[in-house]
Amino acid sequence: MLSFGVTFFITIINISILYFVLKRLLWKPMKKFMETRAAKVREELDGAATARGVAEELKRRYETLLAEAEREAEALVKEAEDRGKAEYKAIVARAEADSVEIRHRAEERAEFEVRRAHDELSSEVAGLAMAAASRVAGRSLGSADDLSEAEAFIRGLQVNRG
């Protein structure tokens, strides 16, 4: 227990061997692995930082483009609205003008029809009057002069009555 002997020297040799073996079998592979992994992680982090920078730049550009697009879209919508309103006003104005014209034409046509109906009625009434007068007078009153006089007489009656 307390006597020095060969165990002392054997232990020195054993520990020296163990040191070199552990350094080669445990320390070096583990250190190499850990350093490789650290380098890889560092590289990936750097890559991630670069990718993040690129992504942020792209995002910034995208947001700028989006803002521009939104502005353009708003302008287009406003322009379309303005154009639509102008078109609407024009269409309404045109429709109003057309309706006025149509109504005007209809009135003219109606007046014309009324006048023509009056004329036809006057002719018919004149003919009937002429026939009645011929029967009363006992002679034929069928000449063109007689008819014209009769019509003029009837028109005179209408004018007086109206």
Partner 1 sequence: MTGAHEGAATIGERITEAIAIKVAFTIHAFGLSIDISDTVITTWVVMAILIGFSIIVTRRLKMIPAGVQVFVEFFIGFADSFTTDYMGHHGKKYAPFIGTIVLFLVTANLLPLLTPIGGFGFEPFFTIKPLTRDINVTAAFAIITMTVVVFSNFRYHGPIGFLKTLIKPLPMMLPFNLLEYIVKPLSLTLRLFGNILAAFIIMQLIEIIVPVGLPPIMALYFDLFDGLIQAVVFSFLSTVYIAEAIE
Stretch that binds partner 1, among 22-30, 98-106, 120-128, 137-145 (CB under 8 A): 22-30
Q: If binding is defined by CB under 8 A, does position 31 make contact with partner 1?
A: yes
Residues 40-69 that bind partner 1 (CB under 8 A): 40
Report the residue from 6, 137, 144, 159 that binds partner 1 according to the rule CB under 8 A.
Answer: 6
Residue labelled with tokens 């227990």: 1
The distance of closest approach from Cβ of residue 78 to partner 1 in the complex, given in angstroms and rounded to an integer, is 57
Longest dimension (CA), the chain: 188
Q: How far, rounded to the nearest angstrom, does the alpha carbon of residue 107 sit from its chain's CA centroid? A: 41
Q: If binding is defined by CB under 8 A, does position 35 make contact with partner 1?
A: no
- 154 contacts: CB under 8 Å, gap ≥ 6: 122, 125, 126, 129
Q: If binding is defined by CB under 8 A, does position 4 make contact with partner 1?
A: yes
Secondary structure, 3-state, 66-111:
HHHHHHHHHHHHHHHHHHHHHHHHHHHHHHHHHHHHHHHHHHHHHH
Nearer to partner 1, 8 or 136 (CB): 8
Report the residue from 15, 69, 97, 110 that binds partner 1 according to the rule CB under 8 A.
Answer: 15
Q: If binding is defined by CB under 8 A, does position 14 make contact with partner 1?
A: yes
Residue ranges in contact with partner 1 by CB under 8 A: 1-2, 4-12, 14-19, 21-23, 25-27, 29-31, 33-34, 37, 40
